[in-house]
Chains A and B, each alone.
Chain A
């Protein structure tokens, strides 16, 4: 690997570290922006979720060093984050990190299967329809409808047709793989739509390049050309979109888990917000943002490694 590419990888890594630090800092100061004593906010004073005694407030002030100057508070906060300490949920009276670790598995399973569905659907549809006028137009209409449909409504319709009408899938969560399919499909359908759009447009752009005609003239079929030559070139905008949609996946988990009554990080977040459990909300947002930044960084790493022509067009870190 050339030195230039190592520099670029390091630059991208530095940018990610900077972004995460910035996001964490923004979250810290956002808490201080609210015109209420942060101890009240952290304890969840908004909805009287907990009976706030002066001992609780004192404990919070001590734990978050709220009696210290703001800069000191901030440094303590960073030091705690570096140790992986996200604070304690005052509603559930447990460390935030433990709560997140407990609920991570169902969400990871859901997100994993949903991504798999989304990639399979979008890549399959884009490769099949690219370059065929009528098919590509029809797929475009379907994608427009799906991209405009709220995740939760897709979930409702899938439940109505597949669970209530045809009884293919159970309506209630039984904890097995079969109950995972509908929620995963619910997230995958609206996620797949823009992915398929991007991939097909990129494929159609590549199909107009002269080297495709050369490949066709060697007797390769259109499908073979798409799979062997065009896909490699079209994959870059597709990967960008995939990284972007990972963020939507995290929000989608909150909606889908609420809709299907599944446990997971999304449900945890929604409950934390309604109970005004700020440490838990903050912890979840930080963990999700970290995941989002890392995924997008890995995708940029992949560009640098796959396609060295990108050296010229990659955004300067």
Chain B
């Protein structure tokens, strides 16, 4: 941790601690990142063109095949009214990912704007923004999202807005910290010394560099936002049934858990797989961008 290393006394030459832990299995890390990218692309295709992967109708009930276990005909089985679980998992990618991407887009845009504002302005504006951010961060995230849904009503759009708003403080803090760091960097001084105006320095040097960590935290945050979206839907506050959304599919599966495990296992596996992929890919990007193990 940085707090630790900064307090350690400087060591005489020749007595440095052993080189930082080497990257464990760099090849494995690259392979995991590639696999994660493939998983993400698969889910993106599912979200954009679900019928490519599952031509059936996710809402079609089939009385002849109620609660049938996974088989060649229904590889993920069917639910209590005979809907094909595989078809629903694939079609569920759209609302589930819409929740995640929508929330990240909102948190990212507003959080970054506020972070830049706080990082670039003088004391008063900066202090006001950061104190507001502290207040926003004082609410536990999921609770804040639930509160916002209570105010504006449930549904995919409102749930995405709610999760997005709850996520703003994190982006604001990261972007502000980075902006402050970039502002004092030698190359910014150099740009000023070369006679660039304040606007040019900000737009060409500070902003692009201040935004560098944003892509990483947005990638990792995508998983968290999708998870929160599924949680809201599970609680009945996100995507309304009978829409095939992963969280609300689990709510449905709860009522017949002892009769058909498959209806609960596969949608949950889809969420886990998606979130894991974003996390792996985010950390991989972080290593690439920041150049550290």
Contact = CB atoms under 8 A, between A and B. Distances in A.
A299 interface: no
Contacts of A39: none
Contacts of A310: 3
B140 A247 contact: yes
Contact of B143 (A26, A250, A293): A250
A31 B151 contact: yes
Given A30-B147, A150-B227, A254-B146, A156 B235 contact: no
Given A251-B142, A269-B146, A150 B247 contact: yes
Interface in B243-293: 247, 250, 253-254, 257-258, 261, 264-265, 268-269, 271-272, 275-276, 279-280
Given A150-B247, A208-B17, A248-B140, A233 B149 contact: no
Contacts of A309: 7
Instruction: Indicate the member of A31, A133, A246, A247 with the most B CB atoms within 10 Å.
Output: A247
Given A144-B279, A254-B235, A285-B143, A159 B257 contact: yes
Contact of B138 (A246, A248, A293): A293
B6 A313 contact: yes
Interface string A161-202: 000100000010000000000000000000000000000011
Given A160-B257, A209-B8, A292 B139 contact: yes
Interface string B108-141: 0000000000000000000000011011101111
B143 A251 contact: yes
Nearest to A160: B261
B4 A156 contact: no
Interface residues of A, number: 69
Interface in B201-219: none
Interface in B2-23: 3-8, 11, 15, 17-18, 21
Contact of B3 (A160, A258, A313): A313
Given A145-B272, A150-B272, A206-B4, A251 B140 contact: yes
A225 to B, nearest CB: 15
Nearest to B236: A274
B207 to A, nearest CB: 25
B150 A272 contact: yes
Given A148-B279, A160-B264, A289-B143, A30 B5 contact: no
Chain B interface residue bracket vs A: 35 or more
B230 interface: yes
A34 B151 contact: yes
B237 interface: yes
B55 interface: no
Given A164-B261, A204-B21, A236-B3, A20 B231 contact: no
A237 B1 contact: yes
B148 to A, nearest CB: 8
Contacts of A52: none
Given A152-B250, A164-B257, A202-B4, A22 B141 contact: no
Contacts of A151: 231
A86 interface: no
22 contacts: A22-B134, A23-B138, A26-B135, A30-B148, A31-B151, A133-B24, A137-B25, A148-B276, A152-B268, A153-B269, A159-B257, A160-B261, A160-B265, A202-B4, A209-B4, A210-B17, A236-B1, A250-B143, A251-B143, A270-B235, A273-B149, A278-B150
Given A210-B15, A274-B236, 9 more contacts: A137-B24, A148-B272, A152-B250, A236-B1, A236-B3, A247-B140, A270-B237, A292-B140, A313-B3
Interface of B: 1, 3-8, 11, 15, 17-18, 21, 24-25, 131-132, 134-136, 138-144, 146-153, 223, 227, 230-231, 234-237, 247, 250, 253-254, 257-258, 261, 264-265, 268-269, 271-272, 275-276, 279-280
Interface of A: 15, 18-20, 22-23, 26-27, 30-31, 33-34, 41, 46, 133, 137, 144-145, 147-153, 156-157, 159-160, 164, 171, 201-202, 204-206, 208-210, 233, 236-237, 246-248, 250-252, 254-255, 258-259, 269-270, 272-274, 276, 278, 281-282, 285, 288-289, 292-293, 309-310, 313
